[in-house]
């Protein structure tokens, strides 16, 4: 969107794309959390259940904002991939979270450009949770948290922050 003028209509359109990604995340986390098998995935399976609940909250927040902008919230999720391999499922989730994070960073800037500061704040709160999801998935895959050009939290910081 760099250099492109943002309008309220365009913002609503982009928020509908975000909403379709949230639906995708809900479906993926509902299914993956139940079908992940194996002792090494027990911890992440529990985390995926928690993600599912949080993605539903995000979808509700976005729907409210799209309605506020005078548009109809979408009813169509982005497609969800399936695999019988645990690592594939975690990989799909991680890729989706990465894309989601990049989008919400743009969305915050766009909300602010339109003077929608309360909306920007709500998306910022969603973004914090998406970054937690990203860290959970990268950790389960034994990988470093992808650097998307913004903040990356060292695992030690997260371990202190999260009580389980
Ligand atoms: Fe989300
Ligand atoms: Fe997420």
Q: Catalogue all structural domains in the chain, each as residue range(s) with its CATH number.
A: 8-161 (1.20.1260.10)
Whether pTM exceeds 0.75: yes
In the 8-state DSSP scheme, what is residue 12? Answer: H
C-alpha dist (Å) from residue 127 to 13, 33, 47, 100, 130: 19, 21, 17, 8, 5
In the 8-state DSSP scheme, what is residue 40? Answer: G
- CA 14 / ligand 1 centre spacing (Å): 14
- CA 23 / ligand 1 centre spacing (Å): 8
- CA 101 / ligand 1 centre spacing (Å): 9
- For position 145, what pLDDT does the model report? 87
- For position 164, what pLDDT does the model report? 42
Which ligand lies nearest to the CA atom of residue 55 in the structure?
1
Task: At 61, list the tokens.
Answer: 């927040």
- For position 147, what pLDDT does the model report? 78
Kindly give the confidence (pLDDT) of every residue in the chain, 164 residues in length, as a single tens digit, with 9 standing for 90 and above.
455 689 999 999 999 999 999 999 999 999 999 999 888 999 999 999 999 999 999 999 999 999 999 999 999 999 999 999 999 999 999 999 999 999 999 999 999 999 999 999 999 999 999 999 999 999 999 998 887 766 544 444 454 445 44
* Residue among 60, 61, 75 at smallest CA distance from 124: 61
What is residue 123's three-state secondary structure? helix
Ion ligand 1 — residues with CB < 5 Å: 22, 55, 58
* Residue among 57, 60, 136, 143 at smallest CA distance from 97: 136
């Amino acid at each position: 969107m760099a250099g492109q003028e943002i309008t309220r209509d365009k913002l609503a359109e982009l928020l509908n794309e975000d909403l379709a990604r949230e639906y995708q995340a809900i479906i993926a986390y509902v299914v993956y959390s139940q079908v992940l098998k194996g002792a090494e995935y027990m911890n992440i399976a529990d985390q995926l259940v928690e993600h599912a609940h949080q993605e539903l909250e995000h979808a509700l927040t976005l729907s409210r904002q799209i309605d506020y902008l005078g548009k109809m919230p979408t009813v169509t999720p982005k497609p969800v991939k399936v695999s019988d391999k645990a690592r594939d499922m975690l990989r799909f989730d991680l890729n989706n979270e990465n894309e989601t994070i990049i989008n919400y960073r743009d969305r915050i800037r766009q909300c602010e450009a339109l003077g929608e500061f309360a909306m920007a704040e709500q998306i910022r709160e969603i973004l914090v949770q998406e970054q937690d999801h990203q860290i959970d998935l990268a950790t389960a895959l034994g990988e470093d948290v992808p650097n998307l050009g913004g903040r990356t939290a060292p695992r030690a910081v997260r371990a202190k922050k999260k009580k389980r």
